[in-house]
A and B are shown apart, each in its own frame.
Chain A
Amino acid sequence: QSVLTQPPSASGTPGQRVTISCSGSSSNIGSNYVYWYQQLPGMAPKLLIYRNNQRPSGVPDRFSGSKSGTSASLAISGLRSEDEADYYCAAWDDSLSGAVFGGGTQLTVL
């Protein structure tokens, strides 16, 4: 059971906009930054969004993040086939003094 809660799956057709939610608590999302990772099959996770809504260089602006209270979300607009991957949210947890991840959302591009 993951500390952060994500839907196990999401899907969309090419060109659509998809959002993935991430729910936590006051000790993690409520008091710390949220990060999003994209993991392609057989690859290491890649940092997609940092500090709630910032994109590392090289990440397309089709990807955006937001946070409100103890929840966060990742939005992907203009969906493309290469976006098919597992997506994870993460945050530092002050109670655990460690990083916590969501269970992951498998995105399918139909």
Chain B
Amino acid sequence: QVQLQESGPGLVKPSETLSLTCVVSGYSISSAFYWGWIRRPPGKGLEWIGTVYHSGSTYYNPSLKSRVSISLDTSKNQFSLKLSSVTAADTAVYFCARHSGGYANFDYWGQGTLVTVSS
């Protein structure tokens, strides 16, 4: 059974960098599939942040591209998100999920982690 688990600080100060990690179990991320980050701000809908392919290629939401970096660590079977220069608008529940290339079929999800941006 494929399982994903997010981890990282729950509180980040404005202008700093948000860093989250998603540990995958039950499947080798270097085998195939795309690995993505999605967030849901309070009172709002889901927003795709970006995706990393098992080869290391990345795809980012154009609205966040200048501040986002997603990378793989195949030795630990995990992938990570970095979002720089955060503001209160980046406060959200952040999810990691698996999908196929060119499809929005997020079939396995982490349980989500709340990140609050506040001083």
Question: Which residues of A does B touch, CB under 8 Å?
Answer: 2, 32-33, 35, 37, 39, 43-47, 50-51, 56, 86, 88, 90-92, 96-104
Contacts and interface: CB of A to CB of B under 8 A. Distances in A.
Contact of B105 (A2, A43, A47): A47
Contacts of A43: 111
B110 A92 contact: no
Nearest to B101: A92
A101 B46 contact: yes
B106 A45 contact: yes
A97 B59 contact: yes
A101 B45 CA distance: 8
A98 B106 contact: no
20 contacts: A43-B111, A44-B110, A45-B95, A45-B109, A46-B109, A90-B46, A91-B104, A92-B102, A98-B48, A98-B50, A98-B51, A98-B59, A98-B60, A98-B61, A99-B48, A100-B48, A101-B38, A103-B44, A103-B45, A104-B45
Q: Counting chain B CB atoms within 10 Å of each CB, which of A32, A37, A45 scores highest?
A: A45
B47 interface: yes
Interface of B: 36, 38, 44-48, 50-51, 59-62, 95, 97, 99, 102-107, 109-112
A96 B51 CA distance: 13
A92 B51 CA distance: 12
Nearest to A8: B45
A91 B46 CA distance: 12
B40 to A, nearest CB: 8
Contact of B102 (A32, A46, A51, A104): A32
Nearest to A100: B48
Given A44-B110, A98-B60, A99-B36, A2 B103 contact: no
Given A44-B111, A44-B112, A45-B109, A100 B95 contact: no
